[in-house]
Structure 1
Amino acid sequence: MDVVDIDAAFERFEETWSPRLAASLNGQELKVAKLEGAFVWHSHPDADELFWVIEGDLTIELREEPDRHLSAGQLGVVPAGVEHRPVADGLAKVVLFEPAGTENTGDAEGTGRTREVESLED
């Protein structure tokens, strides 16, 4: 059994909006990411996406619903197909949980923001 220290995981990288793979299970991936500023509007047509804020504050802007604000210790799930845009006012440390292979930019094309998920070991 692998053990992951989430606090230590965040210390292993500096880049924002560049998720790192912390664990895999049952076709799902748990990723850690540092977020700052606004990301791109996108959706994941076939995948729910969980955002769990470890440190900082995160707003999930939604096209069809009121924005959702998450503070440290809170999580929220964006259902599959819902267009959203994460916005961090300051640095936020976030855990993401989603199906393996889910691109960070979902269905948004040509944004230049798509990143391959790197292992924490890289």
Structure 2
Amino acid sequence: MEPISLTTALASFSERWSPRIVTAVNDYDVRVAKVEGEHVWHVHDHTDEFFLVLSGELRIGLRGPSGERTVVLPRGSVFTVPRGTEHKPYAPVPTEILLFEPTGTLTVGDRHDPVPDHVDATTGHTLA
């Protein structure tokens, strides 16, 4: 067990929407990702999804019984998407994020729109 530099972890890869697992807490992965452009509308049926914006800006479209809305997360902001909420992350500029998700959680959730080529449907990659 050694400290992990998030700066070093983020510098070790360039792929967008392809998170790396930096550590684990109980049964949760702590993941970092570089993102830009649109992800995909998706739902995590059994878990919330926690976002922390390390740099840039992340927008998350949300769909619920009362309609659609977008939350804007500037650098340093956190937001949790509740389980069962359809959502679509979008980054208008290159952005770096940190996520907490149960180990084994797919980045595209349990239900999703067709996955574009630039989105990595993964449970997270181990840091190199």
Counterpart of 2:112 in structure 1 is 108
Distance change >3 Å, CA 62–CA 109, structure 1 → 2: closer
Q: Hey, what does 2:96 align to over in structure 1? A: 93
Instruction: Give the deviation of 1:10 after TM superposition.
Output: 0.6
Report runs of 4+ in structure 1 exceeding 6 Å deviation: none
For residues 37-84 of structure 1, the C-alpha deviation after alignment (integer angstroms, 9 at most, x for no partner) is 011000100011001000000001001252110011111000111000
Letter in 1 for 2:96: K
User: How far does the alpha carbon of each residue in 1:21-40 deviate from its partner, in whole angstroms, 9 at most, with x for none?
Assistant: 00112100000000000110
Percent of aligned pairs sharing the same letter? 37
Determine the structure 2 residue equivalent to 1:119. Answer: 126
Q: How far off is 1:8 after superposition?
A: 1.2
Query: In structure 2, what residue type is equivalent to 1:30?
Result: V
TM, length-normalised to structure 1: 0.93
Q: Specify every segment of 5 or more residues in structure 2 that has no aligned partner in the other structure, as ranges.
A: none
Q: Which residue of 1 aligns with 2:57?
A: 57
| Equivalent-residue separation in structure 1 for 2:114 and 2:91 (angstroms) | 22
**What is the CA distance between 1:109 and its match in structure 2?**
6.0
Which shifted more, 24-33 or 109-118? 109-118
Taking the aligned partners of 1:116 and 1:76, their CA distance within structure 2 comes to 20
Greater share of strand:
2
Q: How does 1:2-17 map to 2 (within 5 A)?
A: 2-17=2-17
Cα distance in 2, alignment partners of residues 70 and 110 from structure 1: 25
Equivalent-residue separation in structure 1 for 2:47 and 2:2 (angstroms): 26
**1-structure distance, mates of 2:45, 2:123:** 19
Q: How many residues align?
A: 121
Gaps of 5+ in 1: none
Contact 2:103/2:123 (8 A) holds in 1: no
TM-score using structure 2 length: 0.89
Hey, what's the Cα distance between the residues in 1 that align with 2:69 and 2:114?
Answer: 27
